[in-house]
Structure 1
Amino acid sequence: MSVKNLQPRFFVLLLFIVVAGVLRVTAAGHLTPFSNFSPLGAMALFGGAYFADKWKSYVFPLAALFVSDVILMQTIYKQYAAGFMFDGWYWNYIAFAAVVLIGQLLIKKVRVVNIIAASVAGAIVYWLIADFGTWMNPTNIDLTTGLPYTKNWQGLMKCYAMGAPYIKNTLISNLVYSGIFFGLFEFMQHKIPALAVSK
């Protein structure tokens, strides 16, 4: 594989990641009719599936997540900022990296069934890790009691139960944005041979 062939593919993949980050920012704070949907999960799956170098699968999507987080924390969600980020941010990044890994493992071949399976798995894994971080963070409170979640099994299960309704939006957005990202890139590969470089 020549550098000439690799460069267009890399830059187009990177462009998809940047667009996902921009969509995330513009969809926040009810700036669009689609504010309940985030392209983050699809961005992680897309990066995991397409970047030939595994480190790129993590670095570029995580960088887009970081930049969009900083922008959102300093503008739309400034009241939630702790410095330039938010409390417990690292749990979200661990969860996001896990979704990239799911993209690597489940989308070795871009097929509809693989993308659906990865979207479902990504939504569940993200919820489990991110809400575990919510439970661990002493600044997060149980909205039913006004107190921090109890640090026992019951407190953890209550935290998961409180977050469970959001899985639907995460799953739907994973499916919708994955359909757009994967479908568009596969179409582009078909039309532009320089993009169709195997891993």
Structure 2
Amino acid sequence: MSLDKINIRNYILILIVIAAAATRFFHLDSFTSWFNFTPIGAIAMFGGSYYKSRTKAYLIPLIILFCSDLILNLTVYYNIDGKFDAAVWTYLSFMLMVTVGRYMKKVNVWTVIAGSFACVFIHWIVSDISVVMMTGSMYPRTFAGYLLALQNAIPWERNLLVSTLVYSLVMFGGFEYAKSKFPALQLNSTAELQHS
């Protein structure tokens, strides 16, 4: 295989997403005020923004999130209970966050900040459905119970917002800087279509 046929851009994008996902393994449980400081929002938005292939935009971040979730459950939380009702809502919110990135036509500070707020809002309203719906929930399965769950989730979502802004700054800023230094990372529509 010649170097002309290798899409370096895609490999760099995958490495950035994997590196961000790897930070999920830094164990911050002793710092409870930092709970939910995670790169998932930035990963979703980044994948949606930079992968022009719809399949890659959704699948690559989703597979990396799933693998990191699996590793975390096996090594940190020691909990694989086979209950996927909560995961369905979390992954649905993740897919919607990828969609936010897909709608970012231009990457700049303002679109990344707006996208970060949108991603966290989506996570907040979608993933908390599972908190109310799961068996043994501390919230009644009513709209009032859902509103109470949303209210109680604010500290976690605040941390997710901060982390999404920080990770987005590093991921988007780093890739944009790399693009300015290495022309091979610029989007080449012909190469991207061939490798989609």
Sort the TM-score into its range (normalised by shorter chain): 0.7 to 0.9
1:198 and 1:109 mapped to 2: Cα distance?
16
Which letter does structure 2 place at the counterpart of 1:167? E
1:75 and 1:86 mapped to 2: Cα distance?
18
Identical-pair percentage: 34
Q: How does 1:163-178 map to 2 (within 5 A)?
A: 163-178=153-168
2:144 and 2:37 mapped to 1: Cα distance?
30
* 1:102 corresponds to: 100
TM-score, normalised via structure 2 length = 0.87
Which letter does structure 1 place at the counterpart of 2:114? A
Q: How does 1:82-161 map to 2 (within 5 A)?
A: 82-83=81-82, 88-105=86-103, 107-139=104-136, 141-142=137-138, 149-161=139-151
Which letter does structure 1 place at the counterpart of 2:80? A
Q: Deviations over 1:43-73 (max 9, x none)?
A: 1110000001011111010111101111111
Any stretches of 5+ residues in structure 2 without a counterpart? Answer: 190-196
TM-score, normalised via structure 1 length = 0.86
Q: How does 1:1-199 map to 2 (within 5 A)?
A: 4=4, 7-27=7-27, 29-30=29-30, 36-78=36-78, 80-83=79-82, 88-105=86-103, 107-139=104-136, 141-142=137-138, 149-198=139-188
Closer/same/farther in 2, CA of residues 35 and 198 from structure 1, 3 Å limit:
farther
What SS is found at the alignment partner of 1:151? coil
What SS is found at the alignment partner of 1:81? coil
1:161 and 1:29 mapped to 2: Cα distance?
22
Closer/same/farther in 2, CA of residues 168 and 133 from structure 1, 3 Å limit:
same
Closer/same/farther in 2, CA of residues 44 and 102 from structure 1, 3 Å limit:
same
1:177 CA drift (Å): 0.4
Query: Quick check: 1:24–1:39 contact (8 Å CA) kept in 2?
Result: yes
1:137 CA drift (Å): 1.0
- The aligned length equals 186
1:86 CA drift (Å): 5.8
1:124 and 1:35 mapped to 2: Cα distance?
17
1:30 and 1:18 mapped to 2: Cα distance?
24
Closer/same/farther in 2, CA of residues 110 and 72 from structure 1, 3 Å limit:
same
Query: Quick check: 1:95–1:129 contact (8 Å CA) kept in 2?
Result: yes
RMSD over aligned CA atoms reads: 2.2
